[in-house]
C-alpha cells in the first residue's frame, strides 16, 4: 500500500481527481467508473470524485464520442465537461491519479509544493488483474480495442483503489 492512501484510510470524506492529457477519454471514464462503484456500494457520501486534463485544448467538451459509446455498453454514462488542472486542485484534492508517466511528470511539475506532489499517484499502480501495465495507454489514436483496454484497466484500478482506501 502507498503512504498517501494509507494516510487517507480513516478520513471521513476522500476527494479524488483523475487526470489524463485531454480529459475527454481516460480520466472522465475513470471518474464515471469510480462514481458508479461508490454509488453501487452506498459510499457516495464518503467520496468526492472529479477529473481534469494537463492540456486544456478540449475545455468544455463532453468525453470523446468513442469513449462514451464504449463506456455506455458497460453501463457508465459519462457527462463530465473537460477542464484543465488548476493550481487549486493540489490543495482541494486528497489524491491526484495520473493515467500515464507523462501525466504524472507534468502534474508533479505543476504542483505548487511538495505536499501536492505527494498526492500524485499512478492509476496503473492500483491494478490487480493487469499487473504488467504501468500506465493506462492513450486511446485517442487507437481503434475500438484501445478503448476496451482502457476500460478494462480502469475497472480493475478503480476496484483496487477503492479496496485500498477501504482497508481491504
Ligand atoms: P485523454 O485522450 O488524454 O485520455 O483524454 C486524449 C485526448 C485528446 C488528445 C490526446 C489524448 N489530443 O491530442 O487532443
Global pTM value: 0.98
pLDDT on residue 10: 84
CA of 21 to the centre of ligand 1 (A): 5
Q: How far is residue 140's CA from residue 111's CA, in Å, rounded to a whole number?
A: 26
In DSSP notation, 18-73 reads: EEESSSSSHHHHHHHHHHHHHHHTT-GGGEEEEEEESS-TTTTPPPPHHHHHHHHH
Q: Please, are residues 128 and 160 in contact by the beta-carbon 8 Å criterion? A: yes
pLDDT on residue 2: 84
Candidate from 55, 78, 149, 153 with most ligand 1 atoms within 8 A of CB, to mutate: 55
pLDDT on residue 1: 81
pLDDT on residue 117: 98
Q: Please, are residues 129 and 158 in contact by the beta-carbon 8 Å criterion? A: no
If you ran DSSP here, which 8-state letter would residue 115 be given?
H
Tell me the HSE value of 133 on the side-chain side, using a 13 A CA sphere. 21
Mean pLDDT (10-residue bins), the chain, 168 residues? 87 97 98 98 98 98 98 98 98 98 98 98 98 97 97 98 91
pLDDT on residue 156: 98
Ligand 1: which residue has its CA nearest to atom 14? 22
For the CA of 57, the closest atom of ligand 1 is 14
pLDDT on residue 9: 83
Q: How far is residue 114's CA from residue 95's CA, in Å, rounded to a whole number?
A: 13
Amino acid at each position: 500500500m502507498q503512504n498517501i492512501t494509507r494516510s487517507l484510510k480513516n478520513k471521513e470524506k476522500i476527494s479524488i481527481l483523475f487526470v489524463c492529457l485531454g480529459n475527454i477519454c481516460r480520466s472522465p471514464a475513470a471518474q464515471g467508473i469510480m462514481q458508479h462503484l461508490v454509488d453501487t456500494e452506498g459510499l457516495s457520501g464518503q467520496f468526492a470524485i472529479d477529473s481534469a486534463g494537463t492540456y486544456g485544448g478540449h475545455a468544455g467538451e463532453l468525453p470523446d464520442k468513442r469513449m462514451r459509446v464504449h463506456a455506455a455498453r458497460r453501463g457508465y454514462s459519462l457527462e463530465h465537461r473537460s477542464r484543465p488542472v488548476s493550481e487549486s486542485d493540489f490543495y482541494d484534492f486528497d489524491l491526484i491519479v495520473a493515467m500515464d508517466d507523462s501525466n504524472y511528470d507534468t502534474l508533479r511539475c505543476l504542483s505548487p509544493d511538495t505536499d501536492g506532489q505527494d498526492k500524485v499517484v499512478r492509476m496503473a499502480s492500483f491494478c490487480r488483474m493487469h499487473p504488467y501495465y504501468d500506465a493506462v495507454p492513450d486511446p485517442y489514436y487507437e481503434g475500438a480495442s484501445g478503448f476496451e483496454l482502457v476500460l478494462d484497466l480502469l475497472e480493475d484500478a478503480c476496484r483496487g483503489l477503492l479496496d485500498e482506501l477501504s482497508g481491504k
